[in-house]
């Protein structure tokens, strides 16, 4: 029975690894696809109108609602491209930290013959401001990285490792959030462009 239980646990672990790999590859493909769509649509909009004149305000001319919707479509497409770049940046740093986390696990085990817990890390609340804070501080400095000197101090190592895993989680959440915004803004841009044509 114990052997069957171990086999089942290993089977679940293998399935988890398989689907994690699928999620990561699909996330990257989706981000790239919507970046190309957003950038392509923005380029198309730029070729349709003189962008320089589009945002000029001329009080002598009558208000053109069609141009207003077109301008909003261009702004939404631009924002979608920006969110796409932020998504990629956040994801790259997340992958970098994941690699660093695995390296620390190995080094720590070699030193202390103890493995860190692999349970799910979570924050009680999901906060955009907290995600942005972690994203910006990740870009600004490398203080959160664990050095060989940190590994020598077991208590300090544990604290820094927990913080590193939380940072990883925040970057993952922020990446998914930005991807959602990216898709939403492109959809809004397409709708606004359609309205500008129909009016």
| Alpha-carbon gap, residue 199 to 196, rounded angstroms | 6
Model pLDDT for residues 6-48, shown as the tens digit of each residue: 666 677 667 767 777 788 788 888 888 999 999 999 999 888 7
**65 contacts: CB under 8 Å, gap ≥ 6:** 199
- Measured CA angle at 166 (ends 162, 172), to 5 deg: 145
pLDDT in tens, 80-95: 999 999 999 999 999 9
> Would you state the structure tokens that stand for residue 35, as one six-digit string?
């970046």
The pTM (predicted TM-score) of the whole model is: 0.82
Confidence band for 177, pLDDT divided at 50, 70 and 90: very high
Q: Is 125 left (phi over 0), alpha (psi -120 to 50) or beta?
A: beta
Sequential DSSP letters for 52-115: HHHT---TTSPP-HHHHHHHHHHHHHHHHHHHHHHHHHHHHHHHHHHHHHHHHHHHHHHHHS-P
Residue 195 has pLDDT above 60, yes or no: yes
pLDDT-derived band at 142, boundaries 50, 70, 90: confident
């Amino acid at each position: 029975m114990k052997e069957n239980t171990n086999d089942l646990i290993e089977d679940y672990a293998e399935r988890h690894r398989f689907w994690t790999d699928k999620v990561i590859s699909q996330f990257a493909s989706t981000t790239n696809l919507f970046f190309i769509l957003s950038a392509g649509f923005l380029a198309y909009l730029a070729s349709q109108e003189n962008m320089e004149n589009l945002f000029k305000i001329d009080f002598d001319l009558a208000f053109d609602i069609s141009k207003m919707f077109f301008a909003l479509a261009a702004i939404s497409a631009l924002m979608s491209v920006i969110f796409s770049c932020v998504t990629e940046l956040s994801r790259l740093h997340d992958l970098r930290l994941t690699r660093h986390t695995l390296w620390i696990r190995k080094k720590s085990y070699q030193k202390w013959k103890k493995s860190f817990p692999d349970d799910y890390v979570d924050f009680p609340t999901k906060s955009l401001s907290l995600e942005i804070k972690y994203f910006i501080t990740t870009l600004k400095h490398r203080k959160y990285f664990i050095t060989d000197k940190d590994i020598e101090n077991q208590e300090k190592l544990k604290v820094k490792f927990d913080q590193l895993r939380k940072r990883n989680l925040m970057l993952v959440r922020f990446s998914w959030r930005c991807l959602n915004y990216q898709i939403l803004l492109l959809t809004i841009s397409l709708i606004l462009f359609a309205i500008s044509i129909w009016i």
